[in-house]
Amino acid sequence: MSNTTKRFIEKLGWKITNDSWDGNAHIFNVEEPDNLEEKFEDLRLAFKKVSDMGTERVFPMLRRAGDELVLVVIPQPSFDYVQNKTNLYLLFATIFSTTWAGALWWASYADSSVLDSSYVWLRVLITPDVLLMGFLTYSLPLMAILGAHEMGHYYYARKHNLDASLPFFLPMPPILFILGTMGAFISIREPIPNRKALLDVGASGPIAGLFVAIPVTLLGFWLTEKSAVPVPIDSGSSMYLGSSFFWEFLYIQFSTFLTPSGDYLSHPVVLAGWAGFFVTALNLMPAGQLDGGHIARAVLGPKANGISLTVIVLLVFMAFYGIPGFAPPYLGWAVYAVLIFFLGTSHPPPSEELSSLGNSRMAVGIATGLILILTFIPSPLVFGESQFDLDIVEDQNNFNPIFGESNSTYIVITNTGKSDGWDNLTLNVENLDNYTIKLEVNYVNVSSLGQFNSSFEEFSDYVYWDASEDNLTLNLTSGSYANLTIEFIPTEDPVIGKQSVDLTVKSRTERVYTRTFVLVTEEDN
């Protein structure tokens, strides 16, 4: 076999000075040709052509050892790829999982009645209008971005005569990952031939995805303005999506053409665009087998391996400390760092790493580094506490009522929220047969102004009784509180047993707080 391989190589114009077999590969010392890159590519394609005709599959590699140029020909077993529909099945599964995720986003955005149902995660799957909008407003644009990304890789892999598969999409139920997918990848079934191919294949995906993510995001901004769904005063403890420099730049540019008329909820199409930018930044990290790892290896050579380890260290640091003074920590980076580590931090070299990358491709490599900086989101998910809250304390909540006698307790309601504005609180006491229930405000204590009772003219600014609705309204700023008395008077002999009465306090944010008072009458012995 060695002599046959030697004659084959020489026939293609290579001058061999020495050859050997180390038990695993054929090793040939060769003279360096004038057009090294072109000659090696011709050799690679020639080997590939003969292997396609049934000959033993081999891959050539070119290395420099001191002053010697060494051509290594490595036999590989023939891969009998089974033609199946795995790609197609995964595509349909990912369309389903992203539609599922989109349905949840749309239900929240449109305040769908399905949100009031139990098991809302599953109910959206049997709510046709919500499911359809989840597909149109989230799954379709997101799959377009991911598809463009992977087809960019596929196109340049095929352009460089590489054996590459169509994309494998990765579905992920939204109960495990809110975006509904872990992205996609293509499988390249042979070594990358040179630095140019390595950079082209690595950079093409993120750039192609970015070109689709930009118009998707701008469309989302436009739909956000046209739909104009107001942001709730308070949605409780909430999750917010982080931002990048490029995201802010896009929004500013969009705002010059269509000035926002208010503060509105982001349309689900915006989330699809955000996911596209997020995936772009993740893939462009110069580590391991990521797209950025391909680019770094093409531009920097073996030095890229050190950068890969640096990226892992930085991700772990940001997971626990964030970027001090700029972004809070995000534990998800630790998971991503572990994933990169186990997938491999060292990027294998291309078959031929001796030829020049060229100025134009070097510029593309630098541009992708700039894209990483501009699209990177230091804290993708930020969890914020509600700015509104109440604290309700009562002296007692259990009574033993007796006909003709009064049972009462003090109640203190404190606005413990962080919002500086007024919070209008509506108090309502549940009616109970055979009882007179009275609710009175003894005084209010307004932070920085002092205490007011009914003898003060200002009292009416903070306390209002609506007789028609049979409820009481309190206006309390953050840190202010009201002292009240609730009184229960049986109008006839109480019924034996336990009865309960609810005092509900509803804030202007639509959040409802409840206190339950229990009236227990025992049978006389």
- pLDDT recorded at residue 54: 52
- pLDDT recorded at residue 259: 81
**Mean per-residue pLDDT, 393-402:** 88
Contact 449, 410 (CB under 8 A): no
Given the DSSP bridges, would you call strands 435-446 and 450-452 parallel, antiparallel or unpaired?
A: antiparallel
- ∠ Cα 346 349 351 (to 5°): 155
Closest CA to 103 of 80, 73, 71, 125: 125
At residue 421 the predicted structure's pLDDT band, cuts being 50, 70 and 90, is: low
Q: Which domains does the chain have, with CATH numbers?
A: 2-76 (3.30.980.10), 86-384 (no CATH), 390-521 (2.60.40.10)
Closest CA to 154 of 188, 194, 131: 188
Taking the C-alpha atoms of residue 400 and residue 452, their distance in angstroms, rounded to an integer, is 32
Q: Is 358 left (phi over 0), alpha (psi -120 to 50) or beta?
A: left
| DSSP annotation string for 238-278 | EEEE---HHHHHHHHHHHHHS---S-BPPPHHHHHHHHHHH
Taking the C-alpha atoms of residue 297 and residue 199, their distance in angstroms, rounded to an integer, is 8
**Mean per-residue pLDDT, 186-196:** 90
Q: Is the pLDDT of residue 413 over 80?
A: yes
- The residues with which 74 forms a beta bridge, in sequence order, are 59
Q: Is 355 left (phi over 0), alpha (psi -120 to 50) or beta?
A: beta
At residue 420 the predicted structure's pLDDT band, cuts being 50, 70 and 90, is: low
| DSSP annotation string for 360-421 | HHHHHHHHHHHHHHHH--S-SEEEE--S--EEEEES--EE---TT--EEEEEEEEE--S--S
Q: What is the DSSP letter of 10?
A: H
Average pLDDT, the chain: 87
| pLDDT > 70: percent of the chain | 93
Taking the C-alpha atoms of residue 221 and residue 273, their distance in angstroms, rounded to an integer, is 10
* pLDDT 10s digits, 460-470: 888 988 766 67
- pLDDT recorded at residue 397: 86
- pLDDT recorded at residue 276: 92
> Lowest mean pLDDT: which of 11-25, 71-85, 431-445?
71-85
- pLDDT recorded at residue 177: 84
Fill in the amino acid letter for 165: S
- pLDDT recorded at residue 101: 94
Q: What are the residues whose beta carbons fall under 8 Å from the beta carbon of 79, sequence distance 6 or more?
A: 57, 189
* pLDDT 10s digits, 118-141: 888 889 999 999 999 999 999 999
| pLDDT > 90: percent of the chain | 43
Helical (H) or strand (E) element with 290 = none
- pLDDT recorded at residue 233: 60
Contact 399, 518 (CB under 8 A): yes
Taking the C-alpha atoms of residue 463 and residue 91, their distance in angstroms, rounded to an integer, is 60
Taking the C-alpha atoms of residue 344 and residue 290, their distance in angstroms, rounded to an integer, is 10
Q: What is the DSSP letter of 136?
A: I
